């Protein structure tokens, strides 16, 4: 049977330079089925979809190996326009809608129905008049088919966020000859009842023999909606299973799965012994793309607390909010005293320090020397390293040099001298300079965000070891944010998983993989056990 | 009931926020009219002249604004294209309507070419189009001077009608009056009295409304409203005090017909596929791109249209003025037109015909009276001129600041909605 699958991707390998982001991945989708595509960030889901849509980023980086078959025919998808013509549609995660346009105008965008007029006969089709009546009828039909009771003449700008997803779907359905629809994290912004409705809509689309690829990290929705699931991990195919033969726990383990020899789950400490170093209550941060929506969390004195979770869920927002770099509200108490929010200078003076995830942006002055970079913040914030001559304050070069020397040996920064410029160091050593600068503030609590991003494996280990040593030998409390679960599990005492701007669960490094997988999909293992 | 009141209050406060500049101008204009102590007939007849000269250029700004490219200050370059056309028409000794048509004809390919180049460049600086086009205008001024001082006359021979014997390049003032025969060509084509204009337009509106109603394209309510408005306007005009002030004013009807056609063009293009693309690109480039619209191409088209129209506008301006200051006539075109449309309540990202017209009216009313107001207040007519430049830049600066401020507010609102 040649057309058993509407889409078949066979043996797909994609390299960016020497780095393979997809290794021999296959995906098979039957007509009329809902096929869930699961995987952590960086598992290769978006690369696979970019490939399916013929995105320029794929072709400009040397194409890919493997075959794409549509209805059994080998197909070359050269551009997004080609994908559209072949009947592949996408419902985007960020809404691809124009707020100032009406629902109709959005649904028919660039596919307007037109009538020729006097001028257009002379100067070409672009000047044909819009046939608003016919457009409205089409839009109404498409809206009906997704079960939306909505005025097609309403402006999108005033509509609830949840509606927009449905307008997008209506637009895809309105396209002629759609046979495959990709939903990219469609339920992320929907309320529960809207998500319910969305799943209904997906089912009714599938009944029209259109195949649906459903990308999500909510495992319960996969169980509820999908027929088949394909799981990717680190660019490789973990497996493809019919939903009937799997479970939430099974899928969670497939997603995370790093050796099944995990220790039996102990209950994480809910509260600290003694007073907490930092406690947050109903803490919100407005950091675009990393919003924190009401976190309550305690950081114990002397521990390394890991903050994990998928990208865009708010884990990066947490340290940025506490440090006053992005607008935050809620309550924060630092060593028993309330911490004023939205005030970076105060945060630093109270003994907080932050090694930012954005080393090049806000972290380091690349043209300056190592010692100046280390001393800079302490000089600005606390007035350290400043001597007084004739009533004017000058840098105390000697003290700066001495402190830099000490840090270089303590953190093992590989350099020729403290005067070497930071831009010439390797990524790992730059990261150590960031840590040294934070330490120059003599902090009581250190935030470290994505400390190993963009540095090579050997250097990663050294950065992690120096953090662990600071904690062990000097009793420094550290909050470490990282996308790499393995890193967190290697040095943290406890790991909080942030999902959708909230703490999904607090786990121990030895907790089973399943629990981490569940937490990342917004479920707590304990709740699951009770259910 | 209370809800309704609050909605009304909110709508009113939003209206005030959007049109604050317009109202400030209105108040200032009225005050200056009163201070200047000039006769109203005098003021209005000057205003009529200025409106007919400037409206077309101001209207040429609308399409790029809708396409999200801000205020196209590079219409200066369109004006330069028109001046090249005019120079050639004079050089070839073409007079009257023919001369004007030839100049307008030359403006089209030149303006389109320049617009194509400007559009390409602005595509490379998305988000900074307003400032980019302003600087481009200055830059082009250099190239223009090279062309008129050196290339014309030396490389391309010109007759002595446009050069000065013994000097290099094109003469710095070209006279359109007398035997050149281009002065007020369009103005004089169809000059009518104000009375004829008011009654004529009223009757035309009433007849058109009746016709549309007969064709079932207009609901009865709208028919009554339109006919009523026409009748009230005529009746108001017939009141002796108003009639006395306005009846001697003469109206260059041909120019207003041309301006009306441009307004009609601006409205009807938005009802085509191309217009829908302008709007889509203007509101969100990423979405437009994702739906398969060639964003860069649409933006280039918008600038090309605007540049050609601005050129035609400059022709109308110059023929009505009677002299062409060869090296400076184009310099302030972008600045004054941009300021005028902003005064009408337009912003960097939205503009309509009526905003352009109201803005042009208020902006030039202020200029007409500011000199005399300057004399009355400070005993110095130059104050009025300073004031005009000060106001132009001021209005543009305010518009840029307001735009940034509004975008920030919107962004905040969005992020709080998402939270």
B184-197 confidence digits (pLDDT tens): 999 999 999 999 99
Greater confidence (A362 vs A101) lies with: A101
CATH code at position B355: 1.10.3470
Model confidence over B216-242: pLDDT tens digits?
Answer: 888 888 889 989 999 999 999 988 988
In a domain, B417, yes or no: no
**What are the structure tokens assigned to B347, written together?**
């912003």
A375 pLDDT higher than 90: no
Greater confidence (B276 vs B384) lies with: B276
Model confidence over A315-330: pLDDT tens digits?
Answer: 888 998 998 888 898 8
B415 pLDDT higher than 60: no
**What are the structure tokens assigned to A229, written together?**
């699931």
- A500 → chain B, closest CA residue: B419
Does residue A300 sit in helix, strand or coil? strand
Whether B415 sits inside 8 A of A99 (CB atoms) is no
- A259 pLDDT band, cuts 50/70/90, is very low
Of A480, A413, A491, which is closest to residue A446 (Cα–Cα)? A480
- The three-state DSSP-derived secondary structure of B261-315 is HHHHHHHHHCCEHHHHHHHHHHHCHHHHHHCCCCHHHHHHHHHHHHHHHHHHHHH
Of B328, B326, B329, B360, which is closest to residue B343 (Cα–Cα)? B360
Instruction: Check if A105 contacts B (Cβ < 8 Å).
Output: yes
Distance from CA of A353 to the nearest CA of B (A): 27
- pLDDT, chain A, mean: 83
Which of A39-43, A233-237, B30-34, B120-124 shows the lowest mean pLDDT across its residues? A39-43
Q: Residue B289: its pLDDT value, please?
A: 84
Q: Residue A428: its pLDDT value, please?
A: 76
Note which residues in 358-417 of chain A have CB less than 8 A from chain B: none
* B124-131 own/partner pairs: CB under 8 Å, 24+ apart: B126/B285, B129/B64, B129/B69, B129/B70, B129/B72, B130/B70, B130/B71, B130/B73, B130/B348, B130/B400
Among partner residues B273, B280, B419, which is closest to A126 by beta-carbon distance? B273
Whether B415 sits inside 8 A of A120 (CB atoms) is no
> Domain total for chain B?
1
Instruction: Rounding to the nearest 10 degrees, give the CA dihedral for residues A37, A496, A447, A282.
Output: 100
Would you state the CATH architecture of domain A7-87+177-256?
3-Layer(aba) Sandwich (3.40)
Instruction: Check if A134 contacts B (Cβ < 8 Å).
Output: no
Among partner residues B269, B276, B284, which is closest to A112 by beta-carbon distance? B276
Other Cβ atoms less than 10 A from the Cβ of A14: the count is: 23
In sign, the C-alpha dihedral spanning A443, A444, A447, A452 is: positive
A chain contacts of residue B272, beta-carbon cutoff 8 Å: 114, 117, 120, 126-130
A365 pLDDT higher than 60: yes
- A505 pLDDT band, cuts 50/70/90, is confident
Cα(B269)–Cα(B59) distance, integer angstroms:
14
Share of chain B above pLDDT 70, in %: 96
Q: How far is CA B253 from CA A30, B60, B318, B358, in A?
A: 69, 19, 17, 18
Average pLDDT for A147-173: 85
- A162 → chain B, closest CA residue: B418
Average pLDDT for B63-87: 94
Q: Residue B105: its pLDDT value, please?
A: 96
Model confidence over A406-446: pLDDT tens digits?
Answer: 888 888 788 888 888 888 887 778 888 888 888 888 888 99
Say if CB A384 and CB A378 are below 8 A apart: yes
Whether A286 sits inside 8 A of B287 (CB atoms) is no
Among partner residues B274, B283, B286, which is closest to A127 by beta-carbon distance? B274
Among partner residues A81, A97, A284, which is closest to B419 by beta-carbon distance? A284
Q: Residue B419: its pLDDT value, please?
A: 40
In sign, the C-alpha dihedral spanning B22, B27, B30, B31 is: negative
B chain contacts of residue A286, beta-carbon cutoff 8 Å: 415-416, 419
A266 pLDDT higher than 60: no
Distance from CA of A311 to the nearest CA of B (A): 17
Phi and psi at residue A157, in whole multiples of 5°? -55, -35
B chain contacts of residue A105, beta-carbon cutoff 8 Å: 276
CA-based Rg of chain B, rounded to a whole angstrom? 23
The one-character DSSP state at B322 is S
Residue A377 CB burial class (10 angstroms; 0-12, 13-18, ≥19): middle
Among partner residues A109, A126, A130, which is closest to B271 by beta-carbon distance? A130
Among partner residues B271, B276, B287, which is closest to A97 by beta-carbon distance? B287
Substitution target from A109, A131, A171, A283 for chain B, most B beta carbons within 10 A: A109
ipTM: 0.84
A268 pLDDT higher than 60: no
Q: Residue A165: its pLDDT value, please?
A: 85
Q: How far is CA B412 from CA A98, B17, B400, B406, B409, in A?
A: 18, 18, 19, 10, 5
Q: How far is CA A78 from CA A63, A86, B150, in A?
A: 10, 11, 51
Cα(B14)–Cα(B18) distance, integer angstroms:
6
Cα(A422)–Cα(A405) distance, integer angstroms:
15
Say if CB A139 and CB A104 are below 8 A apart: yes
A chain contacts of residue B276, beta-carbon cutoff 8 Å: 105, 109, 112, 130
Among partner residues B272, B290, B415, which is closest to A286 by beta-carbon distance? B415
Average pLDDT for A78-89: 87
Domain coordinates in residue numbering, chain A = 7-87+177-256, 276-530
CB pairs under 8 A between A and B: 74
Whether B271 sits inside 8 A of A129 (CB atoms) is yes
Cα(A455)–Cα(A457) distance, integer angstroms:
7
Tell me whether domains A7-87+177-256 and A276-530 share a fold: yes
Note which residues in 124-183 of chain B have CB less than 8 A from chain A: none
Instruction: Check if A118 contacts B (Cβ < 8 Å).
Output: no
Contacts of A22 (CB under 8 A, 6+ apart): A12, A13, A14, A44, A47, A48, A51, A64, A235
Distance from CA of A522 to the nearest CA of B (A): 17
Contacts of B410 (CB under 8 A, 6+ apart): none
Whether B277 sits inside 8 A of A126 (CB atoms) is yes
Instruction: Check if A82 contacts B (Cβ < 8 Å).
Output: no
A191 pLDDT higher than 80: no
Instruction: Check if B377 contacts A (Cβ < 8 Å).
Output: no
Does residue A67 sit in helix, strand or coil? strand
In a domain, B17, yes or no: no
Distance from CA of B89 to the nearest CA of A (A): 28
Model confidence over A44-53: pLDDT tens digits?
Answer: 888 898 899 8
Among partner residues B272, B286, B292, which is closest to A126 by beta-carbon distance? B272
Whether B279 sits inside 8 A of A96 (CB atoms) is no
Distance from CA of A293 to the nearest CA of B (A): 6
- Domain A276-530 coded CATH 3.40.50.300: yes
Instruction: Check if A291 contacts B (Cβ < 8 Å).
Output: yes
**What are the structure tokens assigned to B178, written together?**
């007398």
Domain that residue B131 falls in: 25-410
Of B109, B58, B83, B65, which is closest to residue B303 (Cα–Cα)? B65
Which runs of consecutive H residues, i.e. helices, occur in A257-392? 317-322, 344-349, 370-382
B chain contacts of residue A80, beta-carbon cutoff 8 Å: 290, 292
In sign, the C-alpha dihedral spanning A254, A260, A266, A272 is: negative
- A490 pLDDT band, cuts 50/70/90, is confident
Whether A109 sits inside 8 A of B280 (CB atoms) is yes
In a domain, B20, yes or no: no
A457 pLDDT higher than 60: yes
């Amino acid at each position: 049977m040649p057309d058993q699958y509407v889409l078949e991707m066979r043996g797909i390998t994609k390299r960016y330079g020497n780095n393979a982001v997809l290794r021999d991945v296959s995906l098979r989708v039957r007509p009329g089925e809902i096929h869930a595509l699961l995987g952590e960030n960086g598992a290769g889901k978006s690369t696979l979809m970019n490939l399916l849509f013929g995105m320029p980023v794929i072709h400009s980086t040397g194409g890919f190996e493997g075959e794409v078959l549509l209805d059994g025919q080998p197909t070359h998808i050269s551009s997004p326009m080609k994908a559209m013509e072949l009947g592949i549609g996408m419902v985007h995660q960020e809404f691809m809608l124009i707020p100032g346009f009406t629902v109709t105008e959005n649904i028919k965008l660039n596919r307007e129905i037109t009538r020729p007029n006097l001028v257009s006969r002379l100067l070409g089709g672009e000047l044909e008049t819009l046939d608003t009546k016919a457009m409205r009828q089409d839009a109404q039909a498409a809206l009906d088919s997704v079960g939306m009771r909505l005025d097609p003449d309403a402006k999108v700008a005033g509509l609830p966020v949840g509606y927009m997803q449905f307008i997008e779907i209506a637009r895809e359905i309105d396209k002629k000859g759609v046979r495959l629809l990709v939903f990219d994290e469609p339920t992320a912004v929907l309320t529960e009842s809207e998500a319910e409705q969305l799943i209904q809509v997906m089912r009714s689309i599938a009944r029209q023999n259109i195949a649906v690829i459903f990308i999500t990290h909510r495992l319960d929705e996969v169980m509820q909606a999908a027929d088949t699931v394909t799981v990717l991990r680190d660019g490789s195919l973990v497996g493809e299973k019919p939903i009937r033969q799997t479970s939430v726990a099974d899928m969670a383990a497939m997603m995370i799965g790093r050796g099944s020899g995990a220790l039996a789950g102990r209950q994480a400490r809910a509260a600290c012994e003694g007073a907490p170093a930092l406690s947050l209550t109903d803490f919100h941060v407005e950091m675009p793309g990393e919003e924190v929506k009401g976190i309550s969390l305690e950081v114990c004195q002397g521990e390394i607390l890991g903050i994990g979770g998928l990208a865009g869920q708010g884990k990066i927002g947490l340290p940025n909010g506490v440090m006053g770099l992005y607008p935050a509200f809620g309550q924060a108490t630092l060593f028993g005293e309330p911490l004023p929010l939205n005030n970076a200078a105060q945060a630093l003076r109270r003994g907080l320090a932050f090694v930012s995830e954005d080393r090049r942006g806000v972290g380091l002055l690349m043209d300056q020397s190592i010692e100046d970079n280390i001393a800079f913040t302490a000089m600005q914030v606390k007035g350290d390293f400043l001597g007084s001559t004739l009533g004017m304050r000058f840098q105390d070069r000697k003290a700066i040099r001495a402190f830099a020397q000490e840090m270089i040996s303590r953190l093992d920064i590989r350099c020729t001298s403290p005067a070497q410029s930071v831009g010439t160091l390797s990524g790992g050593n730059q990261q150590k300079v960031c840590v040294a600068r934070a330490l120059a503030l003599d902090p009581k609590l250190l935030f470290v965000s994505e400390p190993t991003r963009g540095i090579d494996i050997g250097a990663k280990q050294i950065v992690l070891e120096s953090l662990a040593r600071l904690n062990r030998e000097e009793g420094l409390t550290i909050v470490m944010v990282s996308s790499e679960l393995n890193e967190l599990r290697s040095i943290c005492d406890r790991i909080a998983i942030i999902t959708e701007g909230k703490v999904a669960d607090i786990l121990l490094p030895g907790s089973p993989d399943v629990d981490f997988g569940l937490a990342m999909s917004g479920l707590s293992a304990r709740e699951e056990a009770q259910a | 009931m209370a809800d309704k009141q609050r909605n009304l209050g909110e709508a009113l406060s939003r209206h005030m926020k959007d049109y604050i500049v317009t109202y400030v101008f209105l108040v200032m204009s009225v005050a200056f009219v009163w201070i200047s102590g000039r006769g109203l007939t005098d003021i209005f007849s000057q205003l009529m002249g200025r409106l007919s000269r400037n409206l077309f250029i101001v209207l040429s700004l609308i399409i790029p604004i809708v396409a999200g490219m801000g205020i196209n200050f590079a219409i200066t370059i369109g004006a330069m294209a028109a001046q090249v056309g005019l120079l050639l028409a004079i050089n070839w000794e073409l007079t009257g309507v023919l001369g004007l048509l030839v100049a307008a004809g030359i403006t089209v390919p030149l303006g389109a070419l320049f617009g194509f180049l400007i559009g390409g460049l602005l595509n490379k600086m998305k988000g900074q189009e307003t400032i980019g086009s302003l600087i481009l205008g200055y830059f082009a001024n250099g190239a223009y001077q090279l062309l008129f001082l050196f290339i014309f006359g030396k490389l391309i021979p010109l007759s002595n009608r446009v050069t000065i014997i013994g000097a290099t390049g094109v003469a710095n003032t070209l006279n359109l009056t007398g035997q050149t025969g281009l002065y007020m060509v369009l103005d004089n084509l169809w000059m009518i009295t104000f009375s004829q204009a008011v009654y004529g337009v009223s009757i035309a509106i009433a007849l058109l409304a009746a016709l549309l109603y007969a064709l079932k394209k207009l609901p009865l309510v709208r028919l009554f409203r339109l006919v009523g408005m026409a009748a009230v306007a005529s009746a108001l005009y017939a009141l002796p005090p108003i009639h006395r002030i306005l009846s001697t004013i003469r109206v260059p009807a041909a120019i207003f017909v041309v301006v009306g056609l441009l307004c009609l063009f601006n409205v009807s293009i938005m009802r085509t596929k191309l217009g829908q693309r302008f709007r889509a690109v203007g509101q969100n480039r990423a979405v437009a791109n994702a739906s398969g619209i060639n964003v860069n191409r649409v933006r280039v088209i918008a600038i090309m249209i605007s540049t050609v129209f601005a050129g035609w506008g400059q022709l109308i301006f110059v023929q009505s003025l009677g002299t062409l200051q060869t090296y400076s006539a184009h310099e302030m075109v972008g600045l004054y037109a941009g300021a005028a449309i902003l005064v009408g309540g337009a912003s960097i990202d939205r503009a309509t015909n009526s905003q352009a017209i109201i803005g042009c009216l208020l902006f030039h009313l202020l200029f007409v009276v500011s000199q005399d107001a300057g004399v009355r207040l400070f005993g110095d007519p130059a104050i009025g001129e300073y004031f005009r430049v000060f106001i132009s830049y001021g209005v543009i600066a305010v518009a840029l600041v307001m735009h940034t401020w509004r975008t920030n507010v919107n962004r905040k609102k969005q992020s709080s909605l998402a939270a």
